[in-house]
Amino acid sequence: MVIKDSEEEKRIVILGVGNLLLGDEGVGIHAINELKNESFSPSVKIIDGGTAGIDLLFWLEDADYVIIIDCIEANAEPGSILRLQADELLLNAPGQISSLHDISLQEMLFIAKKLGKLPPTIIYGVQPKNITLSDQLSPAVHRSLPRLLQLIRQEINKQ
């Protein structure tokens, strides 16, 4: 067990997931690429999780707080941004809200929770319009990117 100095900053991991070759499915990676151009405290790690699935557990282990950015199907207006706690995503029945990866975000979070390695985690999901072979976001999702980045910055500043 690591004992932290009370003055030490929280170790925050910003984890973007998705596939850049499937249109809106890559929104998490597009967001991460934008965030990498900004200056944050050394305690904030900006990670391109791509489609790593279960390998993402590595990044959760030592984090005090995690923000995941992903494309999430929630039957909402394309470009809509949802803010969910990890437990909310875990409680949703399949088919209501689901990640669009081979190893679902829900499965990775479930495993992390069962292993006792799930820190407080917030998911920012963006409702896709197009999941097709493309390296571009749909106009609706592209327009939501500045607001998404603003929400991520606010989340970091709250910690």
The structural domains of the chain, with segments of one domain joined by +, span 12-158
Under the banding of pLDDT at 50, 70 and 90, the label for residue 114 is confident
Q: Measuring CA to CA, which residue among 50, 123, 32, 112 is closest to residue 83?
A: 123
pLDDT at position 94 over 70: no
pLDDT at position 53 over 70: yes
Q: How many CB atoms lie within 10 A of CB 21?
A: 12
C-alpha dihedral over 95, 100, 106, 107, to 10 degrees?
110
Under the banding of pLDDT at 50, 70 and 90, the label for residue 27 is very high
- Tokens representing residue 80 in the block: 């809509």
Q: Report which of residues 110 and 158 the model is more confident about.
A: 158
**pLDDT value for 109:** 85
C-alpha 26/C-alpha 43 separation (Å) is 25
pTM for this model (two decimals): 0.85
pLDDT at position 2 over 90: no
C-alpha 38/C-alpha 81 separation (Å) is 21
**pLDDT value for 91:** 64
pLDDT at position 154 over 90: yes
* Domain covering 12-158, topology: Rossmann fold (3.40.50)
- Across 46-55, 88-97, 119-128, 134-143, least confident range: 88-97
**pLDDT value for 1:** 40
